Structure 1
Amino acid sequence: MLAKVLSAALVGIDAHLIDVEVDIAGGLPQFSVVGLPDATVRESRDRVRSALKNTGFHFPAKKITVNLAPAGIKKEGSGLDLAIAIGILVAEEVIPPQKVQGRVCVGELSLDGHIKAITGALSIGIACRPNHSLLLPAENSQEAAVIQGVTAYPLHTLPEAVAFLNGTTLLDPAHADWDRFFTTRPVEDDDYGDVKGQDHAKCALEIAAAGGHNLLMVGPPGSGKTMLAKRLPTILPLMEPEEAIETTRVHSVSGQLPANHPLLTVRPFRAPHHSISDAGLIGGGTIPRPGEVSLAHNGVLFLDESPEFRRPVLDGLRQPLEDGHVTLTRASGSLRYPARFMLIAAMNPCPCGYYGDRTRECVCTPHQIRRYRAKLSGPLQDRLDIHIEVPPVSVRDLHDHGPIPERSDTIRSRVLAARDLQRHRYRQDGIHSNAQLKPRLLKRYCGLDTQAQELLEHALTKLGLSARAHGRIVRVARTIADLSGSDKIESLHVAEAIQYRSLDRRMEF
């Protein structure tokens, strides 16, 4: 008998509905899976056989052929186990065929019949709406229920799935409290109130957060660069609903979504080690997987000790920084992953770390310093909107009982006000922040008066900046004006934006 059951397979971060066709015919016992399955899908034969036998169902000793259509899509992962098992039971007339129509079944089977969690449940939920209901592991039900218009039924065991399809057991669909995700901010341990001194760096990070700008911090060891960077998510706004869904999809297909967080609303913070490979940072593999740039989508990618990263790894950041996505091409095809993130990089001023320090002597030669700083290529430095120097904090500042440092919630309130201005200003252009301004929009939204224009031209000529750096300065000036509540970009805003280009100045030895 022939049976058809719907399931789903992931391609990149997108899910495609798959027709699982099961044919049971006479002949020598055989179990074959066709339709471009990978090794994990082929291994489902043993899992399905054991799960059916160990839960009291009859496994037919006949020739079983499972076809996964369309055959042109590579099927990977263990999420097709449940659909194959249900298909066999439909073919054996344990479940009426009409009971599985309009239902998508996904889940990995253990040998005792329990249904284990899968990856990419959010993307599968998007593929199911609005015409199909979804049967999936209970651990993933909240994640799929986030998508409005999807009816997701949580399952724990194979017998429970069979009983539900036969109508002998009733299951309540999973429900996700959508409003709670965006009204409640999780409690965060880190806070800028813990950081003594470094007011200049805090101001620059506030500007970066308000406009979504990339930033480079240069300072000696122990000056607080990492401490400042790790607290950046505490002043960033929660993600918009569409941003949250897209970011959660990337983490879900990567298997890195926390079990108790069906939807990510706090912007991700990724800090890879400097030994990371090209594929680890950008993405890759035989079947391309998302890298750190995609896992940081709509959040922060922090590169500590950035010159220690290999040069090809750093240069691989150019395209995602410019385009907001990364395209990975292999012999099997091309996959595109989102990669719009804030890049926060930190570095020492020289190999020993103490160039310019008033308390310790630098032992590096001018050639060593130039070679060390050249590890960040010129094109990559151009894409960093803000460069700041982070000097060491004096002992007096650490023990000073003067003014209490501003807390993150106070800074965040100003960032949110600036972001609201930008969201209203760009509501017709499909962007959310000043850093996303395209060149054609700069003239419309970032017009400069004569004095500001002359100041900018003088700085560009003296510092020898590129046209890309010109656009970066204008975007930063727009953000500074938003934080000050000004509709127009004035010369003082441009002057402040120019002084955040410290690496463009000529070094004096």
Structure 2
Amino acid sequence: MVALVRTVAYLGLEARAIEVQCQVAPGLPRFSVVGLPDKAVGESRERVQAALSAMGLALPPKRITINLSPADLPKEGSHYDLPIALALLAAMGVTDAEQLIEWVAVGELALDARIVSSPGVLLAAIHASEAELGLICPRAQGAEARWASGVPVIAAPDLASLLNHLKGTQRLPEPEPGEVEKAPPGPDLKRVKGQETAKRALEIAAAGSHNLLMVGPPGAGKSLLASCLPGILPQLSPAEALEVSMVQSVAGTLQEGRISRQRPFRAPHHSASMAALTGGGLRVKPGEVSLAHLGVLFLDELPEFQRPVLDSLRQPLETGHVDVARANAHVTFPARVQLVAAMNPCRCGHLGDPSLACSRAPKCAADYQARVSGPMLDRIDLHVEVDPVSAADLALPPSAEGSAEVAARVAAARLRQTARSEASGARSNAELDGDALEQFATPDEAGQKLLMQAADAMRLSARSYVRMLRVARTIADLAGSETVGRIHVAEALSYRRQPPRA
């Protein structure tokens, strides 16, 4: 007899259908798993055997073959434990094989037959919903699975309870969807003393989801400004929150099914490797640029990152996704992020201060800033100088305008962009391109004249030209203007990086 149980294989954010086939045939006792399993899947034999033993069941003294079909697709992860165990129990006649056809099963087995959490349950639930099947998963992840609407879910604490539920002798409770997490309070812009130019640039970046680079000496407030950004960004829409949660699910960071409406904010250390930043590893996992999808990726001490690591972000910043190609896998993760970076002007950090600058200036500054490639800097929309703050500034009372007031203006600007999204196909101004860019971001006659003059004087590349138009469109949205005027173009040009003189 051959028993069949459905499960999934994860390739990026895609769940592929897998059939777990089990045959118990006469022959010398043997338990084998075939179908390109990795080491974790191969070791499931020991976990399944121990779990059955904990339930008082022994494997039949026959030849047991588990086939994971299609056999040419690599299988990775511990979530195959549960479907393998169910297929084996169905082949042994312990449970009804026909009943299991209507379910997709995922979950890892403990040695005492508990069903424990495994990454990717939300993806499996969405796959089951599309295939009009139910989902069997660990109890700890039932709330996560319920976010996929219309999916019957059996969330079982252990294998014995699951078998009793399938037989009808015990009723497992239906899991409830996980809670929507409240965003923890972050720093308020009222804490930032002075830095009016930098705060204005931060507001523009938040309103249009633009990339931002802050350059200034140590202690000027660059990291504080970046940490204030989540407090002025609009919340994720329900569809966006589910999209972000799918990335967290496959990465194994979605705790107890709690979905957050706050945009992700990731701040990796400058020692991060290329795989940590863009994704990869032996079992390909999303990197920081994907974990920050639809949110903020903050890179502090930008020149201290390895140059190849930084340059690996060039393609994701342009396309909104990252392709991870390995010998055993080729997967795509979403990476529509807002890059916010901070750096010192030179190694010592005090370029321009006669009392503190080193004797190697300006060569020291040129060498230090050259660690970040020109093409990488060209992908950053807003470049702003953050000046040092004096003790007199720090003694001033907090600003009357804080994050709440700025967030209101940002939300109003985003609403204008949302109203155009059906025609433009862009969620924010940072995604405007092609005909939509020409239709919505073309300046008036005075603005166009200024733009042409600046393009020649500043030697704007095609990418810089497009990004400058997007920023000008955002500035116009913040001002409540339907057209992009000369004043909006002028402010956008003030944030462009000046090319080095030949």
Q: TM-score under structure 2 normalisation?
A: 0.96
What is the number of equivalent residue pairs in this alignment?
501
Offset of 1:260 from its aligned partner?
A: 4.0
Secondary structure of 2:24's counterpart equals strand
Deviation for aligned residue 1:94? 1.3
* 1:227 paired residue number: 224
Letter of the 1:480 counterpart: I
Q: In the alignment, what sits opposite 1:399? A: 395
- Describe the superposition over 1:278-335 as per-residue Cα deviations: whole angstroms up to 9, x where unpaired: 2221222344321111111111111111011111111111111111111122223421
Query: Residue 343 of structure 1 aligns to which amino acid in structure 2?
Result: L
Q: Give the letter for the 2:402 counterpart.
A: R
1:72 deviates by 2.1
Equivalent residue in structure 1 for 2:381, among 385, 400, 413: 385
Q: Give 1:429's aligned residue.
A: 424
CA distance in 2, matches of 1:414, 1:306: 29
Retained in 1: the 8 A contact 2:205–2:212?
yes
CA distance in 2 between counterparts of 1:321 and 1:32 reads 45
Counterparts of 1:346-425 in structure 2, within 5 Å, are 346-357=342-353, 360-401=356-397, 404-425=399-420
Tell me if the contact between 2:267 and 2:297 (Cα under 8 Å) persists in the aligned partners: yes
Letter of the aligned partner of 1:56 in structure 2? Answer: G
For residues 322-333 of structure 1, what are the structure 2 equivalents within 5 Å?
A: 322-333=318-329
Cα contact 2:141–2:257 (8 A) shared by 1 = no
Q: Contact (CA 8 Å) 2:284, 2:329: kept in 1 or not?
A: no
Question: What do the CA deviations read for 1:400-437 (whole angstroms, capped 9, x no partner)?
Answer: 12x53422222111111110110111223332100001
For residues 500 and 484 of structure 2, the distance between their equivalents in structure 1, rounded to whole angstroms, comes to 27
User: What is residue 489 of structure 1 aligned with on the other side?
Assistant: 484
Question: Sequence identity, in percent?
Answer: 48
Instruction: After TM superposition, give the deviation of residue 358 of structure 1 in Å.
Output: 6.5
The one-letter code matched in structure 2 to 1:504 is Q
Letter in 2 for 1:450: E
Task: Return the offset for 1:263.
Answer: 2.1
Task: Report the Cα offset of residue 453 of structure 1.
Answer: 1.1
CA distance in 2, matches of 1:308, 1:326: 22
Contact 1:356 1:362 in 2 (8 A): no
More displaced stretch, 261-270 vs 478-487? 261-270
Residue 146 of structure 1 is matched in structure 2 by 147
Alignment partner, residue 137 of structure 1: 138
Q: Distance in 1 between matches of 2:185 and 2:120?
A: 27
Q: Which residue of 2 aligns with 1:127?
A: 127
Change (3 A) 1:228 1:381: same
Alpha-carbon distance in structure 1 between the residues aligned to 2:9 and 2:362: 56
Q: Distance in 1 between matches of 2:185 and 2:135?
A: 35
Amino acid at match of 1:487: E
Per-residue deviation at 1:348? Answer: 0.7
> What's the secondary structure of 2:74's corresponding residue?
coil
For the residues of structure 1 that align with 2:499 and 2:23, how far apart are their CA atoms? 72
Q: Does 1:452 align with 2:453?
A: no
CA distance in 1, matches of 2:296, 2:355: 33
* Contact residue 186 and residue 230 of structure 2 kept, 8 A: no
Structure 1 residues 187 and 303, CA gap change in structure 2 (3 angstroms): closer
The 5-angstrom pairing of residues 3-42 of structure 1 reads: 3-42=3-42
**Which residue in 2 is equivalent to 1:318?**
314
Q: Secondary structure at the match of 1:80?
A: helix
Bigger mean CA offset, 265-274 vs 211-220: 265-274
User: 2:205 maps to what in 1?
Assistant: 208
Q: How far off is 1:399 after superposition?
A: 1.3
Contact 2:423 2:436 in 1 (8 A): no
In the TM superposition, residue 228 of structure 1 has moved relative to its aligned partner by 0.8
Q: Which residue in 1 is equivalent to 2:266? A: 270
Q: Once the 2 structures are TM-superposed, how far is the Cα of residue 173 of structure 1 from its aligned partner?
A: 2.4
Deviations 1:431-466, CA, capped at 9 Å, x for gaps: 210000113321111121121111111222222221
Where 2:422 maps in the other structure, the secondary structure is coil
Residue 190 of structure 2 contacts residue 403 of structure 2 at CA under 8 Å; is this kept in 1?
A: yes
Q: Structure 2 matches for 1:174-253, cutoff 5 A?
A: 174-176=175-177, 181=180, 185-253=182-250
Per the alignment, residue 277 of structure 2 pairs with 281
Structure 2 residue 303 is matched with structure 1 residue 344: no
Q: 1:98: Cα distance to partner?
A: 2.4
> Is contact 1:107–1:117 with CA below 8 Å preserved after alignment?
yes
Residue in structure 2 matched with residue 171 of structure 1 by the alignment: 172
Deviates more, 1:11-20 or 1:42-51: 11-20
The amino acid across from 1:349 in the alignment is P
Question: Relative to structure 2, which stretch is displaced further, 443-452 or 204-213?
Answer: 443-452
How far apart in 2 are the matches of 1:379 and 1:489?
27
Q: Distance in 2 between matches of 1:261 and 1:25?
A: 41
* 1:490 to 1:316, Cα distance in 2 relative to 1, 3 A: same
Specify the code of the residue in structure 1 equivalent to 2:211.
Answer: N
Computed over aligned residues only, the root mean square deviation of the Cα atoms, in angstroms, reads: 1.8
Contact 2:144 2:256 in 1 (8 A): no
What corresponds to 1:2 in structure 2?
Answer: 2
Contact 2:22 2:66 in 1 (8 A): yes
Contact 1:196 1:405 in 2 (8 A): no
1:141-168 CA distances to partner (integer Å, 9 max, x unpaired)?
Answer: 1111111121222110110010011111
Distance in 2 between the 1:187 and 1:255 partners? 21
Aligned equivalents of 1:251, 1:443: Cα separation in 2: 36
Write the letter of the residue equivalent to 1:64: I
**What secondary structure sits across from 1:428 in the alignment?**
helix
Displacement of 1:172 in angstroms is 3.0
**1:80 alignment partner in structure 2:** 80
In the other structure, the counterpart of 1:118 is: 118
Inter-partner Cα distance in structure 2 for 1:123 and 1:460: 46
112-121 vs 464-473, greater mean Cα deviation: 464-473
C-alpha separation between the residues in 2 aligned to 1:439 and 1:215? 23
Contact 1:350 1:364 in 2 (8 A): no
Structure 2: how far apart are the matches of 1:261 and 1:142? 5
Consecutive unaligned residues of structure 1, counting only runs of 5 or more, are none
Partner SS, residue 197 of structure 1: coil
Give CA-to-partner distance per residue, 1:47-85, whole Å, 9 cap, x none.
000100112223222211011111122111111111111
Alpha carbons 2:186, 2:227 under 8 Å: kept: no
Separation in 1, partners of 2:400, 2:253: 35
Distance (Å, rounded) in 2 between the aligned partners of 1:311 and 1:29? 56
Alignment-mate amino acid for residue 228 of structure 1: L
TM-score by length of 1: 0.95
SS in 2 for 1:175: coil
> Would the aligned equivalents of 1:220 and 1:357 in 2 still touch at CA under 8 Å?
no
Name the amino acid aligned to 1:264.
S
Between the aligned partners of 2:67 and 2:86, the Cα distance in structure 1 is: 14
Q: 1:45 to 1:488 in 2, by over 3 A?
A: same
